[in-house]
Chain A
Amino acid sequence: MKKLPLYPSEPVQTGESRRGFLKMMAQAAGITLLASCDAETRERFFQQNFRELSPAQLRRAIARMERDYKDQYGADVRVGAEPAIDGVIFAYALDLSRCIGCRRCVHACVWENNLSRDPEIHYITVLEMEKRHGVDLHHADAYYEADQVPREGHFYFPVACQQCDHSPCEKVCPVGATWKEPDGVVVIDYDWCIGCRYCMAACPYGARHFNWATPTIPKGELNPDTHILGNRPRPKGVVEKCHFCLQRTRNGRYPACLEVCPVGARKFGNLLDPDSEIRQVIDTKRIFVFKEELDTQPKFFYFYEA
């Protein structure tokens, strides 16, 4: 076997080389390109992950988004960036013995959170299950149709993001575009998401949805009250999911699905406040979490009225 020389036979080039030349040319081309486009495009291109934005950068990013949405939808959209409230961890509870499967929550969520109408995205999936089988995904139908609900012998099991404390989606994201906020809500930076959909594969609840095409929202139906990590209109090619209506809940209001529920099956509140409705539910009802065996530690609790 031929031995490789310890030193190159030719002296190392210190001046011009093909590689050096190409590098220089590429740099020059890049600088020219960046210099030729306006400051806004430049900033858009170099926008940092949401968690690393300085206050000034965040302000500029929000102003830019609001301009974009004005052009796109002709509406004065407010993009809020309210941070998590100190001493608050959000949690949700759902009374399975009350839910009648009317899907009001599904559609209130679509309107509130500017979900794409076509291709269709729903954050909430209502599963129709059979009473004789209990909570069993082998006997669950998300596409039930009926003249009237509830149907005899059935109960209804709405599933959306469970806002896990050990969120598998967050673990697998290769770019850190999704994370858990201090108030426990798992959010997505829509500008940082690369659309690899690992998180969708990791989520055991089917709670994450991908924008296969540019979302369509009819012009008059855009909800102009938005949050930067919540319901602002999404671009094509990113993943989205339930965020407990950040634009509402961080301003003290209830999520839209809760307010619309005609039977009062949904409960929401601050897990850290012993007097909150959610704590009263946890203290006085027999609650359970969905797919407990996976140790995802959801902040979404189900219970039966006893």
Chain B
Amino acid sequence: MTREQPRPAPRFTARHVAMVAGILIVASLPFLVLGANPASRAAGTATPPPRGTDTGDVELVELLEFECLPVAKDETVGEEQYAVPLPPFSKDVFPCTRCHDKPDDFNPTPRNLTLDHLGIKLVHGPREQWCYGCHNPTDRDTLRLAGGRTVSFTKSYELCGQCHGPKLRDWRLGIHGRRTGCWNGKHEYLLCVHCHDPHAPEFPAVAPMPRPKTPAEIRLDHNAENEQ
């Protein structure tokens, strides 16, 4: 794989590693909550859900780790030079050419895969869409735009932007996507695929955190304290 963009400065990389780690932890929280505490999902209307901060501390500790370094205003990156962290590949999957090493050996017929990549279920775009709509059959380490141009995985946003133009525009402006770090620092960018699974981009629904107490409940608490 050829890197098409200048390598970011070491400080930048380290910060991004921390950022991605933070985001992974926070992103996995809904699942931790669902897995660890099924009671909170099944909370009825009569009793308020359990109020715990066990899940929250993880988030907060991660959030407090950030160090903000003032960055000079004129360091803004040019339009095509986004310094982004590396794509979040599944373990041991990249480079793809390790297995797909013969450029001409591919079956262009859309079908369900039965040998490998069984974990991938494509729920994205029209039904005609399948692997080679995005992946480049002749060089698996790259992606292929609709017009035939290839792009590297580090610039996958170009591919996404073919259909999601307004989102790409907003992302370039710095107003699409999660933000962590500093409001007055250099704009930092994650790839689309850091948050959206490209094969199934819809976010799963999550369990909400505990609701506030109603005035009636506060009154009950207060009366109970007085009786003690």
Whether B179 and A258, one on each chain, are in contact in the complex, defined by CB atoms closer than 8 angstroms, is yes
* A103 vs B43: C-alpha distance when bound (angstroms): 16
* A223 vs B56: C-alpha distance when bound (angstroms): 13
With A254-B183, A277-B174 known as contacts, the answer to whether A260 contacts B63 (CB < 8 A) is yes
B26 — which chain A residues lie within 8 A by C-beta? Answer: 260, 262
Chain B 156-196, CB-CB to A under 8 Å as 1, else 0, gives 00000000001000100111111111111101000000010
Chain B 1-41, CB-CB to A under 8 Å as 1, else 0, gives 00000000000000000000000001101100000000001
With A120-B218, A147-B207 known as contacts, the answer to whether A108 contacts B213 (CB < 8 A) is no
A266 — which chain B residues lie within 8 A by C-beta? Answer: 179
Whether A253 and B212, one on each chain, are in contact in the complex, defined by CB atoms closer than 8 angstroms, is no
Whether A252 and B63, one on each chain, are in contact in the complex, defined by CB atoms closer than 8 angstroms, is no
**B interface residues, how many (CB within 8 angstroms):** 52
A209 to chain B, nearest CB (A): 11
**A interface residues, how many (CB within 8 angstroms):** 54
Whether A252 and B185, one on each chain, are in contact in the complex, defined by CB atoms closer than 8 angstroms, is yes
Residue from the list A108, A143, A150, A259 in contact with B212, Cβ < 8 A:
A143
* A251 vs B114: C-alpha distance when bound (angstroms): 54
With A100-B206, A145-B211 known as contacts, the answer to whether A107 contacts B179 (CB < 8 A) is no
Whether A107 and B207, one on each chain, are in contact in the complex, defined by CB atoms closer than 8 angstroms, is no
A275 — which chain B residues lie within 8 A by C-beta? Answer: 76
Whether B49 and A111, one on each chain, are in contact in the complex, defined by CB atoms closer than 8 angstroms, is no
| Most interface-central of B26, B51, B175, B184 (chain A CB within 10 A) | B175
A144 to chain B, nearest CB (A): 7
Whether A249 and B183, one on each chain, are in contact in the complex, defined by CB atoms closer than 8 angstroms, is yes
Whether B68 and A284, one on each chain, are in contact in the complex, defined by CB atoms closer than 8 angstroms, is no
A260 — which chain B residues lie within 8 A by C-beta? Answer: 26, 59, 63
* A264 vs B57: C-alpha distance when bound (angstroms): 20
A122 — which chain B residues lie within 8 A by C-beta? Answer: 212
Residue from the list B29, B42, B184, B218 in contact with A119, Cβ < 8 A:
B218
Whether B181 and A254, one on each chain, are in contact in the complex, defined by CB atoms closer than 8 angstroms, is yes
A175 to chain B, nearest CB (A): 27
B49 — which chain A residues lie within 8 A by C-beta? Answer: 145
Whether A276 and B176, one on each chain, are in contact in the complex, defined by CB atoms closer than 8 angstroms, is no
Whether A254 and B60, one on each chain, are in contact in the complex, defined by CB atoms closer than 8 angstroms, is no
Provide a sorted-by-A list of 5 A–B residue pairs whose CB atoms are within 8 angstroms. A145-B43, A254-B179, A277-B173, A280-B174, A284-B170
A residues within 8 Å of B by Cβ?
100-104, 106-108, 111-112, 117-120, 122, 125, 142-150, 221, 223, 225, 249, 251-254, 256, 258-264, 266-270, 275-277, 280-281, 284-285, 306
Give the 10 A-B residue pairs with the shortest CB-CB distance, closest first.
A148-B205, A252-B68, A264-B178, A103-B209, A280-B173, A252-B182, A149-B208, A111-B60, A264-B177, A259-B180
